[in-house]
Amino acid sequence: MNIKQLLIQSIAFMYSMIILIGCGGGEQQTGGSLQEIKGGKFKGGIYRANEMAELRSLDPVGVNDATSHHIADQIYETLLTYDGDLRLQPELAESWEVSPDGMSYTYHLRKGVKFHDDPCFNNGKGREFTSQDVVYSFTRICDARTRTLGAEYFKEKVRGAKEYYDASIEAQANNAPSKVANIPGFVAVDKHTFRIDLVKPFAPFEFYVTLGVTLIHPKEAVVKYGKDFFQHPVGTGPFKFVSWSPERECVLTKNTQYWGKDKDGNQLPYLDGITFSFMKDITNQFVACKNGNLEESYRIPSEFFEDVVDQNKKVKPEYANYKVLNIPALSTQYYGMLYSGKVFSNINLRKALNMGIDRAQIRKFVLKSQSAGPGIHGLVPPTMVDYNGTQIKGYDFDLEQARALLAQAGYPGGKGLEITLQLNNGGGRNLQLAEAIQSQLKKNLGIEVKLKQVEFARHLDEVDAGKVEFFRLGWIADYPDPESFLNLLYGKLVPTNANQPSPINHTRYKNPAFDVIFEQALSETDRLKRMELYRKAEQIAINDAPMMVLQYDEDWRLLQDYVEGYVTNAMDKRMYKFIWFNPAKMQ
C-alpha cells in the first residue's frame, strides 16, 4: 500500500467516525426516498456539501465572504441573479428598467412570494414579500449600527445614503436615535414596485442588486432575534434554515412554499435539504467525497490533481465514475500589504517582494498547474469579459531587480527585516502557497517570513480593521465587471477614521490619480471605453504594488456521478435549487 492510499484510508476512517459520532451514521439516505417527477427528473435526497472556512454570518449585511454567500444564497434571494453564463436574470424582481439618464432603476416585484414560516410572524406563518421589505433590507445596508459590510457600495451612489450612514455613525457613538429617518433614494413606489435613485449615473450599478448584502429579509425577524439574527435567518429562498452548529454543520431544509418552478412545471428545489459541514482541510474534503460521504469537493488537492486528470487535463479512468467540472474563474489569489502600515508604506519593499517570487514555478510545482495562470498582470482576472487584462503589466520574477529594490528599501540582503504573513487556518492550498512563498523569499531575498494562521472569521475581522500588515486573501467577482475588483483599490472607500473597518479596500491603498480615472470609468456607459479607462486606472495601482497578485483561479470540482443539474459558473455562485439525484447512477 502506497502512502497516498494509506492517507485516503486514514482520512476516510477519521471522517466516518466524525459522522458516526455527530450524526448517528455515515450513509447517504438518498436513493430510497427519491420520487420521479416530470421531465425525467427526481425529487428528494439530502445534498452534503462542505465549506473549508467557517461560516461568518447569515445576516445579509454581513455577507461578504464565500462561505456566507454559499449558504445565505440558498435561504434568501436578491432582486436579480445570474445564469450559468453570468447574464442578469429575474429573481425577486420579474422585470426591471433603467431611466434614459441612468439615474433611476425600477424593479417590478413578483407577486405572491412568501417569507419562510417562522415564529417571528403572527401565527408563525410567513407573510407576502413586498416593496417595503426591499426598502428595509437596503436601508440596513447603509446603517452602521447593523455592523454592515456593504455601506461602501451605496453611500456615495444612492440619494441620501451618505447622510443616513453618517447619521447612523453619530447615533451609534452617542447611543441616541438617528437624526435621519430614511434614505430618499430607496423608494417603495407601490406594493410591488421598488425604485433606486442615484446621485449621478453609475454604469455598473445594474449588478449591485445581486450583491450578497442585498439579500432580502423581513423586519420581523431582525426585531425578534436582535443581535442573534445572524444565526436565525428568514428569507424567501428555496431552502429554509434549520440549525447552525459553529465549526460543525449548518442544516437547511426544503422550502415547500417556494415560488420557483422549472420548465416542466416542477416546483423547485428538487432536494429535500442541504447539510454543510466545515472541514478545514482540502484533502479531508476530497477523500470524503471520493469515499461517498460528500456530494462534491470544491477544488482538488494538489497532491491528487495528477491522479484525477492527465497533462491535457482530461479525466483519467480511475475517476470516470465521477463528474469532474472545471472552469476559469473570475477569482484572484493575492497577498495584501497595508499601504498605511509602518512596514509596507515603503514602495521599494512592496515591489521587491513582488519581483522576488517565481509565480510560474509555484503554479507548476505547488499547484500542479491547477490555476488559470500565474498572477503576472493585474488584480482583475484576464478572463474578465471584454477587459483584455493581459495588457496590464504586473510583476514577474526578476531576482536582480528585487535585490536592488530591497537594498533601496533599507534592507540589503533582507537584513533587519522580519515580517509576518497572516492567513486563515485550514491548511491545504493556502498553506502550501504560503510555505512556498516563505521559502522563496528566504532563499531569494534573505527575508524571514513567519506564518500566522487564525480562524477565518477572525482573520477577516482583523484585516478589515487594519490590524494586519501582510495578509492572504482571495477575491471572487461580486459581479462580472472589473469594478468589482478595482473597488479594492479605490481610495475613497478607505474610512477617514483609521479605527473604522475597511471591508472592501483592505490594503487601504490611496492614489488620487487612480481615483480620478476610475471615477471616469464608472460614469462611462460605453462598455469598451469603460474597459479602457479601467485598464489605465489599474495600471496606476499595480505600479504602486499595494498587493502581491499570486494566481488567477481555475475552479475544479469533483461531483458524485448521480448529481445532475449542477450549474457551474465563473463566480462560483451556488445554484443548489437546480440539483437533483439520478437513482440510475447510484450504486
Say which residues have a Cβ less than 8 Å from residue 256's Cβ, sequence separation at least 6.
none
**Alpha helices by DSSP H, 291-358:** 302-308, 347-355
Cβ–Cβ contacts within 10 Å for residue 294, how many?
26
Q: What percent of the chain has pLDDT over 70?
A: 94
User: How do the residues of the chain divide into helix, strand and coil, expressed in percent and rounded to 5?
Assistant: 40, 20, 40
Cell of 467: 490590524
Cα three-residue angle 456-142-380, rounded to 5 degrees:
55
If residue 85 lies in a helix (H) or strand (E), which one and from where to where? none
Let me know: does 516 contact 306? Beta carbons within 8 Å: no
Q: Closest Cα to residue 441, out of 381, 505, 353?
A: 353
State the pLDDT at residue 64: 86
Domains of the chain as residue ranges with CATH: 57-235 (3.90.76.10), 328-554 (3.10.105.10)
pTM of the model: 0.81
Let me know: does 336 contact 507? Beta carbons within 8 Å: yes
CA distance 235 to 226: 16
Map residue 386 onto helix, strand or coil: coil
What backbone torsions phi and psi does residue 430 show, to the nearest 5 degrees? -60, -40
State the pLDDT at residue 1: 44
State the pLDDT at residue 30: 53
Averaged confidence pLDDT in the chain:
93
Q: Closest Cα to residue 350, out of 541, 552, 482?
A: 541
For the chain, residues with pLDDT lower than 50 are 1-27, 31
CA distance 479 to 355: 30
Q: What percent of the chain has pLDDT over 90?
A: 88
